[in-house]
């Protein structure tokens, strides 16, 4: 995506501020300072019982009503801090960049849409719906576009020495593409040919730009 160099540069330039042990709130605060608190981007931290101590995930939410992207650091409710070394910062940087770009795609989708329904706020990290609702969520054309971008990012991050088109040809054997595995798991034991075809067409679209 065209925003990737800008996002990655901000994170690389501020890398030294994240190496070591930091409290959850300090991490979020430093992210905000690094990105100079843009009006449409806000970082938050949320604690969960199902996240292991010293582990983290990153999720996002685009608020269509207020035109704001929320990037959420999901951490354990039993911990107080995270410690980053070179390896963990690399993962942290990738997930932050990936999530900002995912939500920026949604922002772009909505800003270039003339006739829309009432905007719906949805943080899928806390969705908690049925498998049918989850499938409906992943079948949405906007989500397919954004997740296809996620998949291409994962191809290039986890398989940097391989041609992404070759990775795509063997995608069902690839074990390091969490976004694609999420689709496979969600649509397990049901037909998703049309959704998969649409997803692959979007992956092809994004490969040259990621």
pTM above 0.85, yes or no: yes
Q: How many domains does the chain have?
A: 2
pLDDT digits (tens, 9 = 90+) for 53-107: 999 999 999 998 899 999 999 999 999 999 999 999 999 999 999 999 999 999 9
CB-neighbour burial class of residue 132 (10 A; exposed 0-12, middle 13-18, buried 19+): exposed
Tell whether 88 is covered by a domain: no
pLDDT-based confidence at 37, cuts 50/70/90? low
pLDDT digits (tens, 9 = 90+) for 123-157: 444 455 788 989 999 999 999 999 999 999 999 99
Three-class secondary structure of residue 146 per DSSP: helix
Contacts of residue 162, defined as CB under 8 A and 6 or more positions apart, other chains included, come to 155
Closest CA relative to residue 23, chosen from 58, 87, 73, 70:
73
Of 83, 98, 114, the position where a domain reaches its end is 83
What is the residue range of 143's domain?
Answer: 127-209
pLDDT digits (tens, 9 = 90+) for 111-125: 876 655 544 444 444
70 and 137 inside one domain: no
């Amino acid at each position: 995506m065209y925003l990737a160099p800008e996002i990655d540069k901000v994170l690389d330039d501020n890398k030294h501020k994240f190496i070591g042990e930091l409290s959850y709130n300090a991490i979020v605060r430093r992210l905000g300072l690094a990105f100079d608190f843009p009006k449409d981007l806000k970082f938050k931290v949320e604690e969960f019982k199902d996240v292991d101590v010293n582990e983290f995930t990153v999720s996002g939410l685009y608020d269509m009503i207020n035109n704001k992207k929320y990037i959420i650091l999901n951490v354990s409710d039993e911990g107080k801090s995270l410690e980053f070394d070179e390896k963990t910062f690399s993962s942290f940087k990738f997930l932050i960049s990936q999530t900002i770009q995912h939500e920026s795609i949604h922002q772009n989708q909505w800003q270039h849409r003339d006739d829309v329904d009432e905007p719906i706020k949805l943080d899928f990290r806390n969705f908690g719906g049925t498998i049918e609702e989850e499938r409906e969520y992943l079948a949405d054309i906007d989500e397919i576009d954004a997740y296809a971008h996620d998949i291409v990012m994962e191809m290039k991050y986890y398989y940097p020495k391989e041609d992404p088109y070759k990775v795509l040809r063997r995608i069902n054997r690839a074990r390091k593409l969490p976004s694609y595995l999420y689709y496979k798991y969600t649509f397990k034991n049901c037909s998703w040919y049309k959704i998969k075809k649409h997803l692959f067409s979007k992956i092809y679209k994004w490969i040259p730009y990621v």
